[in-house]
Structure 1
Amino acid sequence: MAKQRNEIEEKYQWDLSTIFPTDEAFEAELAQVSEELKKAENLAGHLLDSADSLLTATEIQLDLMRRIEKLYSYAHMKNDQDTRVAKYQEYQAKGMTVYSEFGQAFAFYEPEFMAITEEQYQAFLAEKPELTAYQHFFDKLLQRKEHILTQREEELLAGAGEIFGAAGETFAILDNADIVFPTVHDEEGKEVQLTHGNYISLVESKNRAVRKEAYEALYSIYEQYQHTYAKTLQTNVKVHNYNAKVRKFSSAREAALSANFIPESVYDSLVSAVNKHLPLLQRYIALRAKILGIDDLKMYDLYTPLSQADYKFSYEEALAKSEEVLAILGEDYLSRVKRAFSERWIDVHENQGKRSGAYSGGSYDTNAFMLLNWQDTLDNLFTLVHETGHSMHSSYTRETQPYVYGDYSIFLAEIASTTNENILTEKLLEEVEDDATRFAILNHFLDGFRGTVFRQTQFAEFEHAIHKADQEGQVLTSEFLNDLYADLNEKYYGLKKEDNPQIQYEWARIPHFYYDYYVFQYSTGFSAASALAEKIVHGSQEDRDRYLDYLKAGNSDYPLNVIKKAGVDMEKEDYLNDAFAVFERRLDEFEALVEKLGLL
């Protein structure tokens, strides 16, 4: 059973006192920000009175958002470390409330700004040179002109922000705090409480009975609560579709992608390219079955490593290996990595009530914190370098750019993290000397590619299908969601849905379906990262410098321009085909190694 929070050594807990030294300091800042938000409402109706008024309102708006992001970072990370603590549930709720209050206070901003004429805009820039620092910010707003509503309508939408977010919040509490999974048996035959954290290691077990029991136990709970999960997901989809409709977008997907200035063709190209290459996935799945000696391969057999090598890393060993591998990016990058590892940016171990999974978080004025649920596996080493990639991206962006550009597009978010993963794979394959370890690394790469490019595109297809279905009037019942998911799963893996009844409930446990068209970016990001890692490891110093410039760019340019300057054109399919070529090359090598080792 996972430990209680107070049983975890302090050195393995993130140090959130660097954000606010005490809870009282958080509460004082929250109260002050709430008061200043009330005063900010007096700015309404005066945005375009003069160049001075535009500058003043813009700077007040950005300063308050900067402070709110810091507040919310503290609140949600405090809550994530133990979701059972009522005090921090309340903090997170208050963090959401202040976001809503901000939206209402500044609901006037975009509608009023949209009334600016080109002549007035240029005159203001000439009169007040300080406004030129915000020119890209203003230009992006003007591009969204047709989707901005009246001030009153914007106020109403902003005021409903908490309500719109309720489905996702309900899912998170149900899935992380209230759901209790059955007890199962580990490899030693001991009874263990199944948790989100240990499920992965159990389903990776080489003992088929262990993984089957864990898999069936997990999905028995999702089957039991399928109707509740269907209702939270349906409500969330309705929110996305409603917002898209009132803002005059043709679909929720267009609305979501337009926020990052990404054409929908990027999404469609991904799905098309992946579907064309599904035979590669199914070839790998068939090879897994042969290596495992299983005639009736099931979904719960897909996660066990095929390698017999005990290739494990303790947390401390993983830190050392990460530093060694990421040194290729230069001294400055490495010094930042060492700070993250030594200054308690990371919450390492699982404890009861802790949020599942892993992420990199924080805000402009905080460290780029990381949440892990550490297990001593090769996969967790990759998770560490992945989240470190996010944190270094955040660190470079925040220290290079002013606050207005001090974040980066969600579309670019998964590239830095998966570039680190690809660098790690390249370096491990470069240094490995024995066939057994090489087998383990190739196995991990192929599984990682499958889980990121293929699996996340499967999620993307499902996400788009349920949004379209709701838009067309289809009720998203659990039965509809189960059938849709089962069919997609069969198409991808080639494993009959009748033989894998539990997998139809998998949609219920995926938090990313609440993130509004986020998942496709894992796939595009991994594919772009494959190209970047090739340049970093095998290219010139100029390639590495261009990559660091990408990490520093933040929101100072449009996302597709930022990544193009680093050497990847994501409006073409070439980068996707190049990624599949790497997968096929390593699959060929893996098949040859399997034959050499006599594993068939």
Structure 2
Amino acid sequence: MNQVAKRSEVAQENTWKLEDLFPDQKAWDKEYDEVKQLIKDVAPFRGNLNDPSAMKRCFELEDQISLHIERLYVYSNMKHHEDMAEPAYQALAEKARKLSVEVNEALSFITPEILSLSEAEINALIRHPELSFYKRTLEEMLRQKAHILSQSEEALLAQVGSISRSSETIFGMLNNADMKFPKIANEDGEEIELTHGRYIQFMESKDRTVRKNAFDAMYSTYRKNKNTFGATLSSNIGKNVFYSKVRKYPSVLEAALFGDNIPKEVYTNLIDTVHDSLPLLHRYMKLRKDLLKVDELHMYDLFAPLVEEFKWEIPYEEAQQMVLDSLKPLGDNYLTVLKQGFADRWIDIYENEGKRSGAYSWGAYGTHPYVLLNHKDNLNSMFTLTHEMGHAMHSYLSDENQKYRYAQYPIFLAEVASTLNEALLMDYLLKKTTDPKAKMFLLTYYADQFRTTLFRQTMFAEFEMIIHEKTEQGESLTHQDFSQIYYDLNKKYHGTGMVVDQDIEMEWARIPHFYSSFYVYKYSTGFSAATSFAKQILEEGQPALERYLGFLQSGSSDYPINILQRAGVDMSSPEPIKQAMSVFQDVIEQMEQLAK
């Protein structure tokens, strides 16, 4: 059936059960009205937050309102995502968004008012028995106090906010709207316009000419706009330097790490440890060259398939069962909840007309999490299923074990549970697969995850660190500087055994993450932590599992580094990255054996 079904035609068992969140529209409207009333109760607390009893009641009200708005916002948006052309739910999502803005405005005085108190006064509140549950909230405010300015200065910075995003906005407009790429002949000789979305498809082509032409077309187009891209990136760095100085941080990097309370060593240690492991990446590049049977390996060969046409049909029910079987090392309790999720319609499974693309896990505290998929019967979709259920189980266990205020896990930890599930699925498939072709297909899939997540994202992180440090030292960077730094890093990471094509020097211009500065390292640390956890669970069994389940139950009850440390993964040491690299080495060795 090639026709995409309308939402009304989708079988109920393949849809998520949003009635668990709100039984009907009437219940949603009732809760909306309650929030409108509760907002009015906030104002009397203004000016009274030096009193412990008033502060406790204010925090309780803040949590009550926040949970209600989360429920309203999540439900309306998930209904909207079922069919984005449906006007009723477009309107409902917009209604929830407006209420959310209203709530944020009503509650916005709380933090500044508490921070206007002296350090001694805040410390006295931290020690007050009536506020014991809010100790962590107050300690976190006190930690931030040194970087909060006077009310008039904060007001001024808030007004500059929209201007400060201009470099990112201009980049987005140029990159997504104004830039046009040439047409490329595909494998059948048809002329097809190159786009961001199609680029990776071209790079995965079996035809080397198609790959090379796409690569050349992509970077020659960026080269034509090099001055503008150089100016937007340079301007973004300048903005970051301005904010870090104004808020009295030692550097932009430390300003970016401050929110999650991540020591600078976690960042630099990641880069140093990956440097030590570069010979492994170089070995994989050599293997890739041998398997592709080419005289020289080029940058446009990095996504080329290493296994001849390999189709692996995996119907959804089979994918579910394989996910369950692969996650047995996580214990009976974990599996019981997972089966409940599959049986009780936590998941919206298939594509339908107007449905939001991609996949995510989402939900509201007090109700089980939900997962949106657009499932296809292939390997990729099975990995997406276990990935999103990893997120869902992390949310479920944090919600079960933490009060609302401390249940939401921080971004630094967000990809650990999902990536661990993928690692266990990969381990399971490799152990049970006997077909050499299937095995090589899986090993390539896994090796490329290491290359693109652990090595490439760390290279991005190093590039960000270098360009910010140079700017902080007073250098003015142009597109030539960006290109030279980026090209040198590519040579260092990919090694002398392959041709690092000159055109790759322009790749920095197309990475949107460089406008969310110092974010990409979290992909590398999350991947390393997950791989380390998986290795510990598979080798140690129960003791490692107990530590990992403790991690899943922690939410944001402590700083992310501490939560990981308690669970047996110390991201301030090289150990988790080394453990991940030992898995990568094992993957390469298995590939080398099969290639003989």
TM-score by length of 2: 0.82
Structure 1 residue 384: Cα displacement:
3.3
Give the 5 Å matches for 1:412-561. 412-474=413-475, 477-494=478-495, 500-561=501-562
Corresponding position of 2:116: 112
| Deviation readout 1:476-518 (Å, 9 max, x if unpaired) | 6545434433332222123799963443343344343333422
In the aligned structure 1, how far is the partner of 2:337 from the partner of 2:406? 20
Correspondence 1:112-261 to 2 at 5 A: 112=116, 115-117=119-121, 120-121=124-125, 124-125=128-129, 128=130, 131-158=131-158, 164=164, 168=168, 184=184, 187=187, 199-216=199-216, 218-219=218-219, 222-223=222-223, 233-261=233-261
Measure, in 2, the Cα distance between the counterparts of 1:253 and 1:525: 18
Report the secondary structure of 2:261's partner residue. Answer: coil
Greater CA drift, 15-24 or 423-432: 15-24
Q: How many residue pairs end up in the alignment?
A: 588
CA RMSD, Structure 1 to Structure 2 (Å)? 4.3
**Letter aligned with residue 140 of structure 1:** E
Range 283-292 or range 357-366, more displaced: 357-366
Q: Which moved more, 1:24-33 or 1:255-264?
A: 24-33
**2:323 aligns to what?**
322
User: In structure 2, the residue corresponding to 1:245 is in which secondary structure?
Assistant: helix
Match of 1:384 in 2: 385
Does residue 283 in structure 1 map to residue 283 in structure 2? yes
Question: For residues 93 and 402 of structure 1, do their structure 2 counterparts lie closer, same or farther at Cα, with a shift above 3 Å needed?
Answer: closer
Look up the match of 1:304: 304
Look up the equivalent residue of 2:308 and give its one-letter code.
Q
Q: Name which of structure 1's ranges 490-499 and 555-564 shifts more when overlaid on structure 2.
A: 490-499
Contact 2:42 2:107 in 1 (8 A): no
CA contact (8 A) 2:222 2:509 kept: yes
Range moving further from structure 2, 503-512 or 343-352 = 343-352
1:44 aligns with 2:77: no
For structure 2, list consecutive stretches of 5 or more residues without a partner in the other structure. none
Moved more, 403-412 or 346-355: 346-355
SS at match of 1:513: helix
Q: Select the structure of larger CA radius of gyration.
A: 2
TM-score by length of 1: 0.82
Contact 1:65 1:102 in 2 (8 A): no
CA distance in 2, matches of 1:200, 1:373: 20
Aligned partner of 1:410 in structure 2 is: 411
Instruction: Give the superposition deviation at 1:385.
Output: 2.3
Distance 1:504 1:9, change over 3 A: farther
Q: CA deviation at 1:553?
A: 0.6
Q: Is the 8 A contact 2:115 2:141 kept in 1?
A: no
In the TM superposition, what whole-angstrom CA distance separates every residue of 1:139-186 from its partner, at most 9, and x where no partner exists?
232233322333444444456555555655666677667877666555
Sort the Cα spacing of 1:93 and 1:307 in 2 relative to 1 into closer, same or farther, 3 A.
same
- Secondary structure, counterpart of 1:433 in structure 2: coil
Q: CA separation in 2, counterparts of 1:101 and 1:542?
A: 46
Partner of 1:144: helix, strand, or coil?
helix
Judged with a 3 Å threshold, the aligned counterparts in structure 2 of structure 1 residues 526 and 44 are, in CA distance, closer, same or farther, namely same
Q: Aligned with 1:108: secondary structure?
A: helix
Q: Distance in 1 between matches of 2:359 and 2:476?
A: 32
Letter of the 1:283 partner, please give it: R
Letter in 1 for 2:569: V
Cα pair 1:14 1:369 within 8 Å, conserved: yes
| Equivalent in the alignment of 1:54 | 55
Over the matched positions of the two proteins, sequence identity in percent amounts to 38
- Aligned CA distance change for structure 1 residues 203 and 527 (closer, same or farther; 3 Å): same
Residue of structure 1 equivalent to 2:269? 269
